[in-house]
Structure 1
Amino acid sequence: MSITIRETVPADWTDCADFFMEAFNAPPWNEAWTANSALQRIADCARTPHFLGLIAEDGAEIVGMAFGYSQRYQEEMHYFLLEFCVANTRQREGIGSSLLTDLHRRLQAAGVARIYTLTARDTAAQSFYEKEGFYLSPKMVMMARRY
């Protein structure tokens, strides 16, 4: 595996959107992203203050991405991992673990004290995050309201 990990730049956004759409429109997510909505999601994430986005590449091909941002919480900085995916055909190769390891290294160097994310309950994604040291928060619950 000759994977390289680097910070994303605006020139990557279209390729990241295509990759994102491919990852999340497939099982198990089966979402309905279009090229336009995926590009808007990527741009919205990347324009968030204190954004840090990484892409994993095999040659010129994106095989993984991690997008999120840091924010102040009391006396600490926390990082909210908004989007994380690995190519469906490349899972279980260590790409996701390598991407998180690189992300953790960068966050710790920047003084970030905590990372958190949201994912679907009782899925392979939840199992992956738990394997990577994430835990279910005993204090927090996600709340939603639809309009």
Structure 2
Amino acid sequence: MSDRIVRFRRIQLAEYTDIGARLLIACYRPPPWNEEWSPKLAMQRLNELSSTPSCLSIGAFHENSLVGFAAGVPHTGAQGTSLYLSEIVVEPQFQNAGVGASLLLSFERLAKELGYESIWLVTARAESTIRFYYNRQYQEPETLLVLARTI
């Protein structure tokens, strides 16, 4: 990966939904997620995000091709305004080379410039994802619990 220069910049996610959907499918297929996204649902996911007011998106580019992105939406609560990091994906061949970490750092810097006070996210309960975020000072709040129910 050392010969691959990756640059990061703010993007309008709506302009990249096709390639973004392909990245999302490729990134969530292998462990630890093991998710089988259809192209239709991946496009729907990105359209939902990109149509959310104040959606913040950063793209990772190699030779003008999108190889990853991070997207978040505002969340205002009693503690102030934070960003919910809805998606962060990196093309598999660019993973484990610092691209994801740099993408996350770029996202954090832009969020701070825009006045956000914190970032929160939900991720797979797997050693690799937990380690990735813990190594970047993300913590599991003692007061919060993520719950889900199939209806």
Asked if the contact 2:32–2:124 (Cα under 8 Å) also holds between the matched residues in 1, the reply is no
User: Could you say which residue in structure 2 is the equivalent of 1:82?
Assistant: 86
More moved, 100-109 vs 83-92: 83-92
Asked if the contact 2:72–2:83 (Cα under 8 Å) also holds between the matched residues in 1, the reply is yes
Q: Runs ≥4 in structure 1, deviation > 4 angstroms?
A: none
- Corresponding pairs, count: 147
Which of 7, 14, 18 lines up with 1:14 in the alignment? 18
TM-score, with normalisation over the residues of structure 1?
Answer: 0.92
Asked if the contact 1:21–1:34 (Cα under 8 Å) also holds between the matched residues in 2, the reply is yes
User: Could you say which residue in structure 2 is the equivalent of 1:60?
Assistant: 64
Asked if the contact 1:50–1:71 (Cα under 8 Å) also holds between the matched residues in 2, the reply is no
Give the gaps of 5 or more residues in structure 1.
Answer: none
Is 1:5 aligned to residue 8 of structure 2? yes
More moved, 46-55 vs 34-43: 46-55
> Which whole-Å CA distance do the structure 2 matches of 1:86 and 1:123 have between them?
18
Larger strand fraction of residues: 1
- The aligned amino acid for 1:21 is I
- Structure with more contact order per residue of length (Cα contacts < 8 Å, sep ≥ 6): 2
> Which whole-Å CA distance do the structure 1 matches of 2:17 and 2:133 have between them?
25
Give the gaps of 5 or more residues in structure 2.
Answer: none
C-alpha offsets along residues 80-111 of structure 1, whole Å, 9 cap, x if unaligned? 00111222222221111111111111111111
More moved, 109-118 vs 63-72: 63-72
RMSD, matched Cα: 1.4
| Alignment map for 1:1-147 (pairs within 5 Å) | 1-9=4-12, 10-74=14-78, 76-147=80-151
Residue 71 of structure 1 deviates from its aligned partner by 2.3
Residue 75 of structure 1 deviates from its aligned partner by 5.6
C-alpha offsets along residues 36-81 of structure 1, whole Å, 9 cap, x if unaligned? 1100001111111221011101113322211111122236210000
Residue 146 of structure 1 deviates from its aligned partner by 1.1
TM-score, with normalisation over the residues of structure 2?
Answer: 0.90
Q: Percent identity?
A: 26
> Which whole-Å CA distance do the structure 2 matches of 1:144 and 1:132 have between them?
26
1:50 alignment partner, SS class:
coil
